[in-house]
Amino acid sequence: MSDEIAFLDACETAARIASKDVSAVEVTETAIRRAEALQPSLNAFISLEADAALEAAAAVDQEIASGNDTGSLAGVPLAHKDMYYREGKVTTCGSKIRADFVADRTSTALAKLDEAGAIYLGGLNMSEFAVGPIGNNVHYGDCRNPWNTDHAPGGSSSGSGATVAARIVYGALGSDTGGSIRIPSGMSGVVGFKPTQNRVSRYGLMPLSFSFDCGGPLTRTVRDAARIMDLIAGHDPKDKTSSRLPVEAYEAACGASVEGLRIGIPSTYYYDDMNPDVEALVEAAQQVLADSGAILVEADVPDHEDMNLIWASALASEAASIHRKWLVERPQDYGDMVRRRIEFGLYQPATRYIEALTMRDTFLRDYCATAFRDCDVLLVPTMPITAPRLADVDVGGSEDMPAVVLRISKNTRPISYLGLPALSVPCGFTSSGLPTAFQLIGRPFDEATLCKVGHAYQQATTWHTRVPDIAQ
């Protein structure tokens, strides 16, 4: 499979299309051909909208030929986790219960990407109802990791990570409630951007947890993620919870110097119980940034045990309230693991739920005062391990599955509870050939600093240019 245009990033591809070096139709045809060729191996798509995509691409080419202004992603094929609603289209949410659900609205995030000229290629596989960090799905089949199809791609935005890594699409939206953007990006070797809570509108996004759900992009480069964030971030009148704070220019932050910027390395929690290969690669990433002029400093972080417990209680309570009717009327239509995890919320006392929400501001204030006292950002492993074998995390019966799941999401869960921004950046491959990543964590609404640091790292390294053998 030799498709030169498929191996460029989103920004480069948009520039090629705008300059007429290649047409949007040609780029889209290539993406469709790759999607169809790799689907039997990766099972990354739930729906592929080939005809509509080609029609949209032809419209972009016509606008360019007419000399009209086009958007910053004009003609660039994207696909998205199948829980972003598109009016008139089925949005399955990876579930049997919503297998025939036709959306009555288009999500604000998708609408903004449409306005920028991006081509919508289809809905991507995901963990059922966005529950689970592995990427398993008993209804549509497991999505698979492009670097080794015996291994998990990470969830719940499994198809988003796999399609970007396999050079099928140039970017994909995912959702993150406890790590579901950062984990699949880390396992699949791509960039994953979880913005500050409520920085991106959630209108038209199937909810899992009102308090913790967060939309964001998975891309090939930090600059690509920043460009998408420039488009989708900001207040949305249709989502009253979306932040009204001004949005910084994220792509413009890429390329700024990191000279003198202080990067905090926590001495506890995040670096505990690590795979030795992961530890070595993350430490090497620290040194790359130090060589680029950043200053590495030790950072203290508060105890995370209470945050993790209280996050789990609140998430389960909110998920159970959303699913209560279906749990009563259609319990047999859930996967066993998903049903058990959601039902857990039915037994949470109201006092525990209220405590989780009312304590959140206190935890956030204490965390920021402690962790960012002497630094601008934190750098930690996205996960302490690499992608497990799917056979070892069989949701139908593996005894090891619960412990592995907790370990995978150990470094992402507390950041979701706190609502902080985090950027996962690939930083190499272990001896088994699987990708690993570090996670940059910032102060609330300081996504621009994360873009600056992540881009500086990618300017000094080439890990993000590696392509899985299956995609060559």
Q: Of 81, 89, 194, 452, which residue is the catalytic one?
A: 81
Q: How would you write 214-264 as a 3-class SS string?
A: CEEEEECCHHHHHHHHHHHECCECCECCCCCCCCCCHHHHCCCCCCCCEEE
Q: Give the Cα separation of 274 and 78 in Å (integer).
A: 34
Angle at 158 between CA 116 and CA 74, to 5 degrees: 15
Count the Cβ atoms, other than its own, within 10 Å of residue 249. 12
Of 169, 138, 163, 146, whose CA–CA distance to 41 is shortest?
146
Could you confirm whether 175 is annotated as catalytic? no
Q: Of 127, 160, 175, 180, which residue is the catalytic one?
A: 180
Could you confirm whether 185 is annotated as catalytic? no
Q: C-alpha dihedral over 54, 57, 62, 65, to 10 degrees?
A: -130
Of 131, 137, 97, whose CA–CA distance to 343 is shortest?
131
Q: Of 156, 185, 201, 313, which residue is the catalytic one?
A: 156
Angle at 34 between CA 102 and CA 73, to 5 degrees: 70
What is the separation of C-alpha 321 from the centre of its chain, rounded to a whole number of angstroms? 25
What is the separation of C-alpha 369 from the centre of its chain, rounded to a whole number of angstroms? 27
Strands 295-299 and 262-266: parallel
Could you confirm whether 112 is annotated as catalytic? no
Q: Where are the alpha helices (DSSP H) in 19-80?
A: 24-42, 50-65
Count the Cβ atoms, other than its own, within 10 Å of residue 360. 20
Residues labelled as active-site residues: 81, 156, 180
